[in-house]
Amino acid sequence: MKRSLLLGWISLFGIWVSAQEDPVVMRINGKEIPRSEFEYSYRRHVDGEGEKLSPKEYAELFIQAKLKVEASRAAGLDTTSAFRKQQEAYRTKLLRSYLPGSQEMDGNARILYQKMKGNVRNGQVQVQQIFKYLPQTITSRHLQEEQARMDSIYQVIQNQPSIDFTSLVDRFSDDKRCVWIENLQTTSEFEDVAFSLAKGEISKPFFTPEGLHILQVVDRKEVSAYEIVSDSLLNRLRRQPLDKGTEAIVEQLKKEYQYVPNTEALEELLQKGETDRTLFTVNGQTYTGEMFKWFASSHPQAVKRQLNGFIAKSLLDYENRHVEKKHPELRYTLQEYAEKCLVAEITRQKVDLPAVNDRAGLATYFKFHSSDYRWEHPRYKGVVLHCVDKKTAKQAKKLLKKVPEKEWEDILRKTFNTSGDEKIKIEQGIFADGDNKYIDKLVFKKGGFESVMSYPFTIVAGKKQKGPDDYREVIEQVRKDYRNYLNAYWERELEESGKVEINQEVLKTVNNN
Do 204 and 252 fall within a single domain?
no
Do 262 and 203 fall within a single domain?
no
Domain final residue pick, 168, 193, 221? 221
Tell me whether residue 230 is in a domain.
no
Chunked mean pLDDT (size 10), the chain, 513 residues: 36 39 90 90 78 87 94 92 84 62 58 60 83 81 88 91 89 88 76 88 89 91 66 59 62 87 92 91 92 81 84 81 71 86 94 93 94 91 94 94 91 88 91 93 93 93 91 92 96 93 91 57
Give the number of other Cβ atoms within 10 Å of residue 339's Cβ. Answer: 18
Tell me whether residue 321 is in a domain.
yes
With CA atoms as reference, report the closest residue to 334 among 513, 84, 48, 102: 84
DSSP class of residue 241 equals P
Q: Name 28's bridge partners.
A: 31, 500
Give the number of other Cβ atoms within 10 Å of residue 234's Cβ. Answer: 16
286: left (phi over 0), alpha (psi -120 to 50) or beta: beta
With CA atoms as reference, report the closest residue to 43 among 32, 54, 34: 54
Q: Give the sheet arrangement for strand 499-502, strand by strand.
A: 2-3, 499-502, 24-28, 31-34
Query: Residue 171: CB partners within 8 Å, gap ≥ 6?
Result: none
What does the alpha-carbon distance between residue 489 and residue 507 come to, in Å, rounded to a whole number? 28
Do 203 and 263 fall within a single domain?
no
Burial 409-429 (b: 16+ CB within 10 A, else e): eeebeeebeeeeeebbbbbbe
Do 408 and 438 fall within a single domain?
yes
pLDDT of residue 499: 92
With CA atoms as reference, report the closest residue to 336 among 122, 47, 21: 47
What does the alpha-carbon distance between residue 68 and residue 74 come to, in Å, rounded to a whole number? 10
Q: Give the sheet arrangement for strand 211-221, strand by strand.
A: 178-182, 124-133, 211-221, 206-208
Tell me whether residue 350 is in a domain.
no
Do 208 and 146 fall within a single domain?
yes
Tell me whether residue 209 is in a domain.
yes
Domain final residue pick, 192, 221, 250? 221
pLDDT of residue 442: 94
Do 259 and 198 fall within a single domain?
no
Do 322 and 391 fall within a single domain?
no
Do 208 and 273 fall within a single domain?
no
Q: What sign does the dihedral 110-114-115-120 (CA atoms) show?
A: positive
With CA atoms as reference, report the closest residue to 510 among 36, 27, 60, 16: 36
Do 402 and 460 fall within a single domain?
yes
End-to-end CA distance of the chain: 29
Tell me whether residue 132 is in a domain.
yes
Helix (H) or strand (E) holding 8: helix 7-16
With CA atoms as reference, report the closest residue to 487 among 68, 25, 43, 128: 68
Burial 112-147 (b: 16+ CB within 10 A, else e): bbeebeeeebebbbbbbbbbbebeeeeeeeeeeebe
pLDDT of residue 278: 94
What does the alpha-carbon distance between residue 458 and residue 65 come to, in Å, rounded to a whole number? 59
Residue 315 contacts residue 300 (beta carbons within 8 Å): no
- Using DSSP bridges, classify how beta strands 499-502 and 2-3 pair: parallel, antiparallel or unpaired: parallel
With CA atoms as reference, report the closest residue to 378 among 481, 478, 462: 462
Do 250 and 216 fall within a single domain?
no
Query: Residue 492: CB partners within 8 Å, gap ≥ 6?
Result: none
With CA atoms as reference, report the closest residue to 442 among 422, 453, 457: 457
CA 36-38-42 angle, 5° bins: 115
Range of the domain at 399: 377-466
pLDDT of residue 113: 63
Tell me whether residue 416 is in a domain.
yes
Number of domains in the chain: 3
CA 445-446-449 angle, 5° bins: 105
3 state DSSP class of 456: coil
Burial 477-507 (b: 16+ CB within 10 A, else e): ebbebbbeebeeebbeebbeebebbbbeebb
Tell me whether residue 287 is in a domain.
yes
Tell me phi and psi for residue 124, to 5 degrees.
Answer: -135, 150
3 state DSSP class of 379: strand
pLDDT of residue 423: 93
Query: Residue 321: CB partners within 8 Å, gap ≥ 6?
Result: none
DSSP class of residue 374 equals -
Do 133 and 200 fall within a single domain?
yes
Tell me whether residue 154 is in a domain.
yes
Do 216 and 247 fall within a single domain?
no
Domain final residue pick, 188, 221, 254? 221
Helix spans in 358-503 (H): 359-368, 390-400, 408-416, 437-442, 475-497
**What are the Cα distances from residue 317, in Å, to 312, 385, 443?**
8, 77, 78
pLDDT of residue 11: 34
